[in-house]
Amino acid sequence: MEHKTYLEILAENDSEARQDYSINPKDLFVDHNDVPEEEELEGDDNHEHTELEDKEAFQQFGGSYHQAGAPPKHIELKAEDHNKSSIFYEKNVRTHVINIDSRFRTDMNDPTTDFSFKLLKPMRNIISLRISSIEFPNTYYTFSQSRGNLSFSLKYYTSNLVNIQTTKQQIITIPEGNYEPQELIDLIQTLLPNTIQISYSINTGKTTFSSIYYFEINFISNNSGNNLSFSSNRSNDNGLGYNLGFRQSYSKPLQAVLIPQSGLLNSTSNQYTLVSTSMIDTIDNNYIFLTLNPDWKVTTNQTTDRVLHHSFTKVIIDVPKGSVLYDNGANTLTKEYWFHQPTDIYIIPVRVSDPYDQTIDLMGMDFSFSLEMKEITNATLHESIRSK
């Protein structure tokens, strides 16, 4: 009878071990000689011979190391398995990606930047929300009536002589839209009286009003005749003057300063000038806020009047006017919200606003974004999160 190794005998009795069994290359170099039956093995044998009580039980196959190392079929989740770093956590959390497009808003009469998006079926047991992409057109106007930066009041004289000077007042109003700096300056010049000029320095970026006659500019007052507002209701950073670079206090009209050109105060070559304190700004806001449910507060914005505005995420606008921002997450900050416990979601309110929490008008253009929702699918994990 051919002598066999222990692993060979084990492989014959265990199908799993037989599949994995392979001959050890070292065995190829070992000569397994048969021992003659009649030859006695040398050596002393002083041990007492003891008969086995149950020979059949001794010969029964007791399993293999493969079966001993196999995990149990059912594993109870432990407390540490509920953490995000656990492998069991990812297996028991399902991710849904919802595309929210303003073209498919619930009420088509709502603005494209302030609407509700109703889900066809509720998303249940949601533990977190995350914005993964945004497609946003940079088409909102920098200059608009709603923002209050279209007009200013101009008071000027037609003579420097006290006894014959005539005072005139005029309201300068530009159309809504977007402008390049020089384009805006050229437009305002066409609206000013012939005695007043406006210029823009490419080197300094500042705006200058000038005239041979004295003048005043008011960027915040209302005209009593037609009740035209020259600025928004904000105490700072408002009105057309802010975009033109005049960012000083508007508590009273800005007065032109006399700059003598020849040393004679009444000379016709003298110039009254009013120079902006900052550079002209026709881009204005370079970021926006996207707000979903008002309770989903991720980003907090604080203004100069100590008012706090909460939103879901802040989006950086780094494309020119008229272009579309395609954001795959690189330009979106603080974009994930975690619920205290699993929550059912039926409807999602959507709103886009500027840094002053004023709703942005895309002039009829639509935008979209992707919203990832994580659903708990394991009852044990669900109860563990609820109990925390």
Q: If you write DSSP's letter for every residue of 58-124 in order, what string do you get?
A: HHS----HHHHHSPPS--PPPGGGGSTTSHHHHHTEEEEEEEEEGGG-S-TTS-TTEEEEEEEEEEE
Does residue 97 lie within any of the structural domains? yes
How would residue 236 be classed by pLDDT, with cut points 50, 70 and 90? Answer: low
- pLDDT, position 227: 46
Strand 151-157, strand 215-218: pairing: antiparallel
Q: What pairs with residue 274 in β-bridges?
A: 209
Are 306 and 352 in the same domain?
yes
**280 within domain boundaries:** no
- Verify that 216 and 300 share a domain, yes or no: no
Contacts of 12 (CB under 8 A, 6+ apart): 18
The amino acid present at 370, given as its one-letter code, is S
Asked if 247 and 297 sit in the same domain, the reply is no
Single out the residue of 57, 54, 61, 70 nearest to residue 20, CA to CA: 70
Residue 242 falls within a domain, yes or no?
yes
Q: Phi, psi (5° rounding) for residue 368?
A: -145, 165
Residues 336-354: what's their mean pLDDT? 92
248/239 Cα distance (integer angstroms): 12
Q: Tell me what the mean pLDDT of segment 16-29 comes to.
A: 51
* 235 and 316 part of one domain: no
Q: Are residues 246 and 305 in the same domain?
A: no
* pLDDT digits 0-9 by tens, 136-193: 999 999 999 888 899 999 999 887 665 666 789 999 999 999 999 999 999 999 999 9
**In terms of domains, do 271 and 307 share one?**
no
For residue 229, is pLDDT > 70? no
One domain for residues 295 and 377: yes
Q: Are residues 234 and 314 in the same domain?
A: no
User: How many C-beta atoms surround the C-beta of residue 9 within 10 A?
Assistant: 11
Q: Are residues 155 and 268 in the same domain?
A: yes
The 10 Å Cβ neighbour count of residue 26 is 7
Residues 195 and 305 placed together within one structural domain of the fold: no
In a domain, 74, yes or no: no
Determine, yes or no, domain membership for 76. Answer: no
Q: How far apart are CA 290 and CA 298, in angstroms?
A: 10
Same domain for 263 and 178: yes
Q: Domain of 26?
A: 6-41+50-69
Residue 362 has pLDDT above 70, yes or no: yes
What's residue 82's pLDDT? 46
Q: Percentage of the chain with pLDDT > 90?
A: 45
The verdict on 174 and 264 lying in the same domain is: yes
Pull the structure tokens for residue 99: 């595309």
Of 222 and 177, which is predicted with more confidence? 177
Mean pLDDT across 201-212 = 94
Tell the burial category of 367 from Cβ atoms under 10 Å away from its Cβ (0-12, 13-18, 19+).
Answer: buried
In a domain? residue 15: yes
Number of domains in the chain: 3
Three-state secondary structure call for residue 199: strand
Distance of CA 372 to the CA centre of its chain: 13
For 241-275, what is each residue's pLDDT tens digit?
A: 999 999 877 778 889 898 866 544 455 567 899 99
Higher pLDDT, residue 3 or 189: 189
Asked if residue 1 belongs to a domain, the reply is: no
The pLDDT assigned to 251 comes to 75
